[in-house]
Every structure is written in structure tokens, then in C-alpha cells.
Amino acid sequence: MLARMKSHYRRLVRVVERSIDAKLPTQCLDPDSRDFGGFVPLDRGYAEPVQSAHALDALFSLYACPESAYFREARMLRSALLCADHLLREQHEDGTIDLKETNFHDATCVGFSVQVLVYTLRLLRASSPGADPAGEKALEERVLSFLKRGAEGLLSGGFHTPNHRWVMASALSLLHATLGDGRCLPEARLYLGEGIDCTEDGEYTERSVGIYNVVNNRSLRILAEELGMPELLAHVRRNLDMVMKYLEPDGSLYTDNSRRQDMGKASYPASYYENYLLMAHETGEPVHAGMAETCLRLAEEGKVTSDSLDRTLCLYLLRPGLRERDLPAAAPASSYGLWNPRSGVARFREGGVSLSLLRDAGGFLKLQAGGLRLTARAAATFYGDLGRFHPQEMERDGEWTVLRYRVRWGYQRPFREPPASSEWEKMPHEKRERAHMQDHVLEARARFTGDGVELRLSSDGVPGVLFKLEFLLSPGGWLETDCMRIPAAAGGWAILKGAEAGYRLGTDRIAIRGGFAEHNSTILMRGSEPQDPSCFTLFCTGYTPIGRTVEIRAPR
């Protein structure tokens, strides 16, 4: 089939129009306010400068777009000029701006802004004069002023996180091309000299499927285009191919292994639209075109958590060829296996059911059936929180994925010779003898069955330790056994005793077999992870040594 690529442009215009319609009422129009010209969402109560850069780009793109309902509309230009003034007022003498929620005199915020505003400047220069040439010229001068001052901030500033390096380098490459500033290119190459942190599996250091993959891919693409380094696109392609194996049955993304703020949060791939759109036009591969279509459709449905699609309209206006070509399209595979021991993640999917297993995390297992999510955690009362099951090892054994956790702990003896200081913090505790040391070892073996998972738990070490296995379920459904049916509200919980229980959420259902209930220490078990109030929790309880098998199925 053909992707409706020729329809994307007009559909994207509507998406950006809706985005601006939602933002405009939040623009501060009070000349006496420190936020004058910026956008002040109610949940924040203040304006972030970088958001003015993004909004400015979207506003002028709609103003310059003949297919937009806001084409040449004066209020779009006025609003964009207010954004520019806000941005310039917020820019420090050193050229940086603040990310008010956490970072100050932040060069990386300038980098994110440059990634947008250089293209806005190019569109300003490429567009024929409209109804207000003086206003358009004033906007161009303001954008150029910000970029010139921003170059100083980028040249003297630094970064915090891995993705920032590529944001900074790409922004410097854009400024080199735009301003002809000879200092920018060597600085960009300093960052590139560190080597690109993308593994053979296509994963970046931050493992951020929900946020920073998109940032890395966009930044590397800019560098490839501006510096004539097409080899950088191989990293982008590997990542985009990997992301398709992080798609859940309901179209969301698996984010539990992220090292950033998107970890475990619901996220949809709409923000990848530009990534897949440009890759589809480059490779002609149907699956990339299919993913671009999927991303745009999700944005049309409102399942987007950023303004990353807004900036894509500017690219469409600068590159008319993007509007003129249809491409063969194919949906990403819905059945696959992913084994990534470097990152400690394994994923399996068969249509509407997926299984994810994770090393170094409390939520070591996630099963998803349609939109119903189940996350498994385990803990034992072994010396406080040392009994939490955060598997340190992950390996494959045929069709089984094996996760293991080992810990030894006990007691300390008094010093044989008095220490030099009686202050506890100054004592050489590493020299103390140990006494009554105990071991705790827990192994979880999981096998994907196509419609669910078989989970085998076994333990070794000190006996008689209280143990719990917990299943965190999407709330709002019904828990059913052969003798009862109860509503499963967020924050609620139950202990599974006996053969089987079913859980139904809308049209999605799972069955859990193999429950056990030897004690009632659940949400208050000492040392275990706090109960998640956003989920309904189903517990299984016992004592070490553990030797249990639990089966979870999603009836087709």
C-alpha cells in the first residue's frame, strides 16, 4: 500500500494549528509582567524562554503557510514578535538563557532554541513579503540577534547529559552555516571527537525511548546535513529500527529501562514523526513510511507530549519535495523478539501481547495485553531493603530468560583495639569482623508463551524469610475468581490464594494461575518498595525457600 505521504503536509498544518490554538490563550499580554510575551501554562505559572523559541517558529510557519487558516494573519506575526522580545529579554549577557525549572545560564537551552530558530530564519528569508513587511523584517532582525548572542553562549558554555553534546554540536554547525562564525565549527568538532554513543543495537546512553532518542536523532541528522557527514545517519537508522521493537500492543512505548525522566511513564511515538518522515524519504523503506503515518495519526488523536511536530511544518515549507512524494508503506512487525544484554532488556511480542524483562530494576517483568498492563516486583524481608529483587544478572537459557539477585549480609563485631575516634562516622568500619553472615539468592525464570508468560521463582540461602510477589495492574477493572468479583480501584489490593484469578479491563483480560498466600505482610512489608497508588496490586506471599510457578495468560 502507499503511505498517504502527500496528505501529511495538510494534516500536519491542522495539527500545528490546534497546538497554537491551545497555546495562544496562555501567552502573557501584561506589559508589566516579567513573563510578558512568553507562554504561561496554568500548571507552571511562569514562562520558559525555550518555549518562546518553539512557539515563535510555529507561529511564523503558520503565518507563512498558504494552506493554513492563519496565512498572513496579523495576530500570528504580533504574537511571534512578542515571543522574540520575551526570548531576547531572557537572554543573559553571556548569550545563555535559563531553564527555570532546573538549569541557569544554560547553553544547552540555547542549543535547543537554535535547532529551531535557524530554520525559522531561513523561512523568513525565503518567504515573499506579506501584508506587513516591516513586521516580518523586525522579526528576522530579532531572531538573528538572538542567534548571534547565542553563539557566544554556546562557545563558552557546557552540558550536563549525553544528548546535550549532540544538541550543542548541531546548533554550532547551524550557526557556522548561518553566521559564518569561524569559531563554531572547531567547537562542534570537539563534541564529535568524543564519538557517538549509539550501540550496535541502536541504543543511546540514556536509553530514553520516550524523549531523548528523538533529540539525538534530530541532532545527528542536522550534523549530517550541515557538515556533510552522512555516516552519522547510520546511528539514526539503527535507533529508529530498534524503537519499532519497543512498541506495545496499544501503540504506546516501553519506557521502563530509560535512565531519564520518561522511565515508566506512558508515552506514544508521535514525537518521532520528523525522525521517521525524513528517514522514509531517504531510504524509501515501507516500514519507515508506515511509522511516519502512525506517528502523525497519533498526533491527530492528541497523543503527543511535546511540540516536536510544530517545528516539522517549517521543514515542509523549506523543502517542498517532502509534500510531493508518496511512498510504499508497511506497518512495523507486531511479532518479534529483542535480546539486548548490554542494556539488560529482553522483549517479546506476539500481536496483542508483549513481555518485557529488565535487569537492575524493581519492575523486572512487564506483561501487556492490549491496553492492560501488569508489572511484577518481588521482595523479601532480608535486612531491610536488601531483600528487594533488583536482578543483577540476566542470561538466556534456551527459551527462558533468567534473572538473578544475590546478596550477603549480617552483623559486625566490636573492634579488637579501640579506634582512634569514638565518632561513628570517623570509625574504620571496613576493618570490623563480620558475624552470622547470611545469603539470599532469588532467581526468576520467564518464558514467553505467545499469549503470556510462565514465571518460575526459586530461592537459596537463609530459610524462613518472608517473601512477596506483587503484580501491579492497570486500575479500573474487575478482579474475578470462581467465587467473587470485585472492582479493582487505584490504590486497592488483594492477595491471590488458590488456583486462578482473572482480571478484566474493558475488552482486555488476563488470567493468573498459581497464586500463594502464606502470610498477610503485603503493603507494609518492611524494606519493600512502597505501594504504587496509581495501580491495583495483587500479591502472592510465602517464605523462603521459594519454589513457585505462576502462569499469566491473555486469552485470545
pLDDT digits (tens, 9 = 90+) for 493-523: 999 998 799 999 999 999 999 999 999 999 9
- Report pLDDT for 3: 55
Query: pLDDT band at residue 304, thresholds of 50, 70 and 90?
Result: confident
Query: pLDDT band at residue 307, thresholds of 50, 70 and 90?
Result: confident
DSSP state letter for 523: T
pLDDT digits (tens, 9 = 90+) for 362-384: 999 999 999 999 999 999 999 99
Class of domain 335-553 (CATH, top level):
mainly beta
DSSP state letter for 517: B
Cell of 363: 519492575
- Report pLDDT for 249: 96
Query: pLDDT band at residue 334, thresholds of 50, 70 and 90?
Result: very high
pTM over 0.85: yes
DSSP state letter for 68: S
Query: pLDDT band at residue 130, thresholds of 50, 70 and 90?
Result: confident
DSSP per-residue string spanning 339-408 = EETTTTEEEEEETTEEEEEESSSS--EEEEETTEEEEEEEEE-SSGGGGB----EEEEETTEEEEEEEEE
Query: pLDDT band at residue 5, thresholds of 50, 70 and 90?
Result: confident
Please give the span between the terminal C-alpha atoms of the chain, in angstroms, as a whole number.
Answer: 28
DSSP element (H, E) containing 434: strand 434-448
Q: Are 136 and 144 in contact (CB under 8 A)?
A: no
Q: 503 versus 129: which is more confidently predicted?
A: 503
CA distance 92 to 89: 8
CA distance 362 to 448: 20
- The domain limits of the chain are 2-319, 335-553
**Domain 2-319, classified CATH 3.40.50.1950, yes or no:** no
pLDDT digits (tens, 9 = 90+) for 72-107: 999 999 999 999 999 999 999 999 999 999 999 999
- For the chain, percent helix, then strand, then coil, each to nearest 5? 40, 25, 35
Q: Is the pLDDT of residue 525 over 90?
A: yes
Residue 386 sits at the vertex; the CA angle it makes with 385 and 389, to the nearest 5 degrees, is 95
Cell of 360: 537492575
Across 4-13, 61-70, 427-436, least confident range: 4-13
Q: Is the pLDDT of residue 2 over 70?
A: no
Cell of 350: 506476539
- Report pLDDT for 521: 97
* Residue 162, burial from CB neighbour count under 10 angstroms (0-12, 13-18, 19+): middle
Q: Pairing between strand 434-448 and 400-412?
A: antiparallel
pLDDT digits (tens, 9 = 90+) for 246-256: 999 999 999 99
Average pLDDT, the chain: 96
- Report pLDDT for 52: 98
Q: Is the pLDDT of residue 289 over 80?
A: yes
- Report pLDDT for 135: 97
- Which amino acid would we find at residue 65? C
Q: Which whole number is the average pLDDT over 398-413? A: 98
Give the total residue count for the chain.
Answer: 556
- Report pLDDT for 306: 66
Q: Is the pLDDT of residue 203 over 60?
A: yes
pLDDT digits (tens, 9 = 90+) for 437-478: 999 999 999 999 999 999 999 999 999 999 999 999 999 999
Residue position matching grid coordinates 549577557: 93
pLDDT digits (tens, 9 = 90+) for 39-62: 999 999 999 999 999 999 999 999
CA distance 319 to 308: 17
